Chains A and B, each alone.
Chain A
Amino acid sequence: MDTLPDAIAQQRTSTALRLSGVAAPRRAGTPGLENLDLELAQGDFLLVHGDAGAGKSLLMGLAGLSLKPAAGRVEVLGLNPWRLSASGRSRLRRRLGLVFQDLNLIDDMTVFENAALPLRIAGARSDAYKKDVAELLDWIGLGDRAGARPQDLDHDQRQRLAVARAVAARPEIILADEPVGWMGPEAAGRVLRLLLQLNRQGVTLVLASRNPDLAPASRRLELVGGRALPEIRT
């Protein structure tokens, strides 16, 4: 087992994500994923699209380590997460930025605390990240709601908060499942610009959406009934 913490924290590889012959079990409303192959280099931008139930969230779950593959092999940043110890997997997860489809905000934390959670989990001191998180919230239009609770926000604001949390700790890969689905055009444009800017800075970006024209991705993967159609690269 790969258990050396330093190896996990410092491993640098040109491959950000590799799925080889991966299958995921079916879940309610989805047929599961079958024999999926995918390789992303660092700095790639992949848009995964398909209808509801096509398997987009399963793919995001596999890449985001919230799902264990039923078959095949997953590699994230050069490591096989399912051969790591639980704490090794936790350290690997800290290198990812996740926007969950159902947001998964923590209701008994404030907006600020939610946004700063990945930094806190990574062991950063609050005085070291306080200013950055406040700036991020300002930029994303939640600066005046920093002390509010997620349940006091509308869905648009909650989604922006989920994006802010995903990018707060400067992850190496951002996996965002329908990140702007509930946002108005202005907020959506702002959030996508932020994600694209991070991608230009070298962050690997994977967006999942029903909208195939959501963003100008360099790579597009369409899922239909749990199977991937031939990928389009531009």
Chain B
Amino acid sequence: MTRRRGLRLSVLLVAAAFTALAGLIGQAGLAALDRTEGWQARLGGEMTVAIRATEPAAVADASVVRATEILAGTEGVAEVRALERSRVAELLAPWTAGARGPDLAILPRLIAVEMDPRKPARRQDLAEALNAAGIDAVVDDHQGWRRTAADFRQGAALLLVAGLMVCATGLAAIGAFAADRDMSLRRSALRTRIQLGDTPLACFRSGVWPSARDLVIGVLAGGLAAVALGVLSGLAAPGTSPTGLAALAVHLTVLVAGASLVALVCAFATAARKIRELGP
């Protein structure tokens, strides 16, 4: 009995740990995919026009005003926003080592151009319109950033699948181990029950039920722990809105159901094999 209690507690804890790990991997992976998708959508719907810095700065300021007017009148453009110098400095800080004050004059001026999603303008359309007006500008359609985001998204998806597969394998092993050990410890009792006329199915149920219950409790506890850790660490950011909470609940349900299913299938398969081994 003591050995069985020890075994059951270990199974419960290990199942909980694996599910919590799977839950954290799942939340981190989904958050990464979600955010990357947001970046890709945003990068794809916008272009950035850079006006080269000039001396005196008033020339560049005038170019920005003209460029903004031209871009706003170009077909396929929905909105045009010239960025404040301070905002440009903030965006370019990684490359300018935090230029401030008079140094801001050497920074290019940036214009964010939001495309009309129904019929977006092409990069060449914007570049030709600006060139025709004699404005020295570079149009960036964010191709490079979008490729980087796509690579990141693919990597995150691969890591998510690999992490979940490792956890599923772990849970499967725990399910098989729990059923195997529990039924081995009760082997003589099960054998006696069969000899007294208990059906293999009834022995199977009585043999696998304690392991199955422990696994489900462990998985449920692990799933809840994962969500709590996710919320505390900010991984489960969508949980702040009702829609996000619903999505979180769905993810948790899918996680717990999937993890339980994997563990239980292995526990059932192992228990069935052990029953067959009990003899005629």
A176 and B202 alpha carbons, distance in the complex (Å):
25
**What B residues does A96 contact at CB under 8 A?**
197
Residues 110-127 of A contacting B (Cβ, < 8 Å) = 117-118, 121-122
- Assess A90 versus B199: contact at CB under 8 Å? Given A104-B192, A106-B189, A121-B193: yes
CB-based contact A93/B196 at 8 Å: yes
CB-based contact A118/B196 at 8 Å: yes
**What A residues does B198 contact at CB under 8 A?**
90, 121
- Assess A117 versus B201: contact at CB under 8 Å? Given A68-B280, A104-B191: no
A66 and B280 alpha carbons, distance in the complex (Å):
6
Q: How far is the CB of A85 from chain B (nearest CB, A)?
A: 10
CB-based contact B201/A64 at 8 Å: no
- Assess A121 versus B279: contact at CB under 8 Å? Given A106-B189, A107-B189, A108-B189: no
| Interface: B62 (CB within 8 A) | no
| Interface: B240 (CB within 8 A) | no
**What B residues does A94 contact at CB under 8 A?**
196-197
CB-based contact B199/A65 at 8 Å: no
- Assess A67 versus B280: contact at CB under 8 Å? Given A87-B199, A122-B197: yes
CB-based contact B192/A90 at 8 Å: no
CB-based contact A104/B200 at 8 Å: no
| Interface: A98 (CB within 8 A) | yes
| Interface: A73 (CB within 8 A) | no
Contact with A along B77-101 (1 / 0, CB 8 A): 0000000000000000000000000
| Interface: B74 (CB within 8 A) | no
A107 and B2 alpha carbons, distance in the complex (Å):
12
**What B residues does A104 contact at CB under 8 A?**
188, 191-192, 195
**What B residues does A108 contact at CB under 8 A?**
1, 186, 189
**What A residues does B7 contact at CB under 8 A?**
none
Question: CB within 8 A of A86: which of B1, B188, B193, B200?
Answer: B200
| Interface: A91 (CB within 8 A) | yes
Contact with B along A51-82 (1 / 0, CB 8 A): 00000000000001111100000000000001
CB-based contact B196/A121 at 8 Å: yes
| Interface: B231 (CB within 8 A) | no
A65 and B188 alpha carbons, distance in the complex (Å):
16
CB-based contact A90/B194 at 8 Å: yes
A67 and B191 alpha carbons, distance in the complex (Å):
12
**What A residues does B188 contact at CB under 8 A?**
104, 106
- Assess A117 versus B199: contact at CB under 8 Å? Given A65-B280, A104-B191: no
A103 and B188 alpha carbons, distance in the complex (Å):
11
Contact with A along B173-206 (1 / 0, CB 8 A): 0000000000000101101111111111110000
A8 and B1 alpha carbons, distance in the complex (Å):
37
4 extra interchain contacts, Cβ-Cβ under 8 A, other than A108-B186, A121-B193, A121-B196?
A: A87-B201, A94-B196, A104-B195, A165-B196
Q: State the B residues within 8 Å of A (CB).
A: 1, 186, 188-189, 191-202, 279-280
Task: Give 10 nearest A-B pairs by CB, closest first.
Answer: A94-B197, A93-B197, A104-B192, A90-B199, A106-B189, A68-B280, A121-B198, A87-B199, A90-B197, A66-B195
Q: State the A residues within 8 Å of B (CB).
A: 64-68, 82, 86-87, 89-94, 96, 98, 100, 104-108, 117-118, 121-122, 165
13 CB < 8 A contacts A-B: A66-B279, A90-B194, A90-B197, A91-B197, A92-B197, A94-B197, A100-B195, A104-B191, A104-B195, A106-B189, A108-B189, A118-B197, A165-B196
